[in-house]
Amino acid sequence: MLLGESISAVGWVNNTVPDAPNIVELPMTDVAGAGIAVGAALAGRRPIFVVRFQDFLILNGSPLIFYAAKLKDLHEKSAPIFVRAIAAEGIGPVHSGVLHSLFMHFPGFRVASPMTPGEYEEVWRGYMDNDDPFICSEHRASYSNKDDLPDEIAAGADITIYAISSTRFEAKKAARLLKNEGVRCNVVNIVWLKPFTLTKRITEPLKESRIGLVVDPGHEIAGASESIAYSLMINTGFPVKALGLEDRTKCLCQPLQNRAPEAGRIAEAAKELLAGTGRVFT
Amino acid sequence: MRAPDLAVIENGAAIVPEDIALEIYRRICRTRIFEEGLIKAVKDGFVTSPVYLSSGQESIAAALSVAVPGPVIFAQHRCHGVYLSYGGDPVKLRDELMGLPTGTSGGRAGSNCVQCHENGVAMHGHHGLIGENVPLAVGYALASKKSTLAIFGDGAAEEDYVLSSLGFAATHRLPVLFVCEDNNLSILTAVETRRSWKVSKVADAFGMEAEDLSDDPWTIYLKAKELVKKTPALMNIHTCRANWHVGVGTDGPAEWDRFSDVRNALKGAGLWDKAQAIEGAERLSMEKVWEQGQLRRLSGK
Ligand SMILES: Cc1ncc(C[n+]2csc(CCOP(=O)(O)OP(=O)(O)O)c2C)c(N)n1
Ligand SMILES: [Mg+2]
């Protein structure tokens, strides 16, 4: 069962939804719509709830946060809804947001941000293997991506860049920019935001480089980048900085769009961090 | 049933006073011709941000603005017609669409977020969440007791907070005129796919006057003048969007063409010569707004 607004008439959600039975065209009712989807989850249907722009999660939030995510702790029941929360960039103050941090903050959710076909499958399995409400933080930038985007580990790396969602494409570019300037760089992908597990894949590169940078397309303050940087820092004892959006509105036009960190900005942030350590690069 | 003549008062163009009929036409022309220039500017690459056109629906704001002057306005994303009809400066709207600091919000907000707080106009900017303007209008009316106009679409009418705002306005007898510009579409999804109920019936059940009608401007003028004395009240106005939901393209001819109907009505009422003079004057002033050399200079292209 899939519920959402304007599914069939508007391009089948960027062609990510097949013309299949059990598609429910919701009226434009963003609060009740989420409640209806959570009700379907309660009834055991494992519904997919499509949110065309992540900013609308603020409206959908009440049934998701206050009902679905609290159900287990309160009543030992579950409402396993799969929320396809789609992010975009450059289309104004309430259509360009990345809000997965909000759902990391509240208890009761699983949160992941897949960018590759394989990761989407992995994330779906993660949802089906559990009974928690699931926030799948999608990004339109992932829909055209067919590549695997593996971690990049450089021998004797100077810094480890942890990248989330759309910034993964930019982090790879930043690593190339840095390499040209003599800075060796690990790029480690973060797909699973909550629970966030400090596996060896994640911590080992930082123990080598001894300095890290977490990049996220959402707001930096109290966001995924700060939260994960903190976990990494406490766990390894090495300094890790967060890089997300500046603390201002994403306006419609440039230069006021406050876009997700792009390669140049990531590289600059990395160099600033390294300058603080006094290391010299040639 | 959706129809171009739904609840339309016959010979409206001849019933309303001549100066009013012509003023409504002037405002219709202003939106239509402004947007003709905008469509070209988009095609020529001078406007690159998304645009939500009022063309096809412009008779609603034109008639309302004459019938109900001076309200505090809370419009939805499709707001060029409201802004221009109520007296917003076309140059500032153009600049907003071009992302210039001289725009209605310094070029930061764009087509769907237009505000106006000058020349006696009080129009609050939308932020892009559909229907958000309706509870804001109700709260404004509650706090200020000022005559307030909430304009929204048939999709917005489905939002939880829009429906409950209607109920709240009815309970508190607030001076809000609710106008639903019912173009039958939420993006591309038709009303019948989304719901089986009418917003006018809901408003009626809440205890306010509510009417379904078509977008004949003379009928809107005559009815809005009456309904605004009995607020809270709701008008659900059937209309046709001429262009895409967002952007300047078209999907073939709309269900009806109100602009041609209006011209024919003016001919029938013996006002064609005067109407043509008005249209000519609007064309001239909008040509200045969209003059190519100026656009090139402003956009640096
Ligand atoms: C709260 C919210 N939900 C969904 C959307 C996505 N959206 C933008 S415009 C639109 C359709 C609006 O339809 P309607 O209110 O009838 O206005 P129209 O565009 O037809 O003038 C939708 C669903 C949004 N911007 N905000
Ligand atoms: Mg509509």
CATH class of residue range A2-142: alpha beta
> Of all residues in chain B, what percent carry a pLDDT higher than 90?
97
| Residue A282 Cα distances to A213, A279, B65, angstroms | 21, 10, 68
Q: Which residues, in sequence order, are CB contacts of B117 under 8 Å at separation 6+?
A: B123
Q: Is B187 in the pocket of ligand 1 (CB under 6 A)?
A: yes
Of the ligands numbered here, which is closest to the C-alpha atom of B78?
Answer: 1
Task: Return the best residue to mutate from A26, A28, A50, A91 for the ligand 1 pocket (most ligand atoms within 8 A of CB).
Answer: A28
Fold annotation for A159-275? Rossmann fold (3.40.50)
Common-topology check for domains A2-142 and A159-275: yes
Question: Shortest Cα distance from B59 to chain A (angstroms)?
Answer: 25
Residue B6 in any domain: the answer is no
Give the nearest chain B residue to A256 (CA atoms).
B108
Residue B1 in any domain: the answer is no
Of the ligands numbered here, which is closest to the C-alpha atom of B158?
Answer: 1
Q: Please tell me the predicted confidence (pLDDT) of residue A280.
A: 60
Residue A215 pairs in a beta bridge with A163, A243
Task: Return the best residue to mutate from B186, B194, B199, B237 for the ligand 1 pocket (most ligand atoms within 8 A of CB).
Answer: B186
Q: Is B263 in the pocket of ligand 1 (CB under 6 A)?
A: no
Residue B5 in any domain: the answer is no
ipTM score of the complex? 0.77
- What are the pLDDT digits (tens) for A197-250? 999 999 999 999 999 999 999 999 999 999 999 999 999 999 999 999 999 999
pLDDT above 60 for A184? yes
Ligand 1 centroid distance, CA of B183 (Å)? 12
pLDDT above 70 for A136? yes
The Cα A130–Cα A39 span in angstroms is 18
The dihedral region occupied by B237, where left means phi > 0, alpha psi between -120 and 50, and beta the remainder, is beta
Span B244-261, average pLDDT: 97
Q: Please tell me the predicted confidence (pLDDT) of residue B1.
A: 82
Quote the distance between the C-alpha of residue A276 and its chain's center.
29
pTM, to two decimals: 0.89
- Domain of residue B46 covers 12-299
pLDDT band at A276; cut points 50, 70, 90:
confident
> Of all residues in chain A, what percent carry a pLDDT higher than 90?
90
Residue B7 in any domain: the answer is no
Kindly state whether A151 is in contact with chain B, defined as any CB-CB distance less than 8 angstroms.
no
- Number of structural domains in chain B: 1
Ligand 2 centroid distance, CA of A62 (Å)? 26
**CATH classification of the domain holding B71:** 3.40.50.970
Q: Where are the beta strands (DSSP E) in B31-184?
A: 72-74, 122-124, 148-153, 176-182
Residues of A in contact with B50 (CB under 8 A): 91-92
Domain boundary assignment for chain A: 2-142, 159-275
Kindly state whether B130 is in contact with chain A, defined as any CB-CB distance less than 8 angstroms.
yes
pLDDT band at B288; cut points 50, 70, 90:
very high
> How high does pLDDT run on average in chain A?
95
Q: Is B186 in the pocket of ligand 1 (CB under 6 A)?
A: yes
- What are the pLDDT digits (tens) for B33-85? 999 999 999 999 999 999 999 999 999 999 999 999 999 999 999 999 999 99
Ligand 2 centroid distance, CA of B157 (Å)? 9
pLDDT above 80 for A147? yes
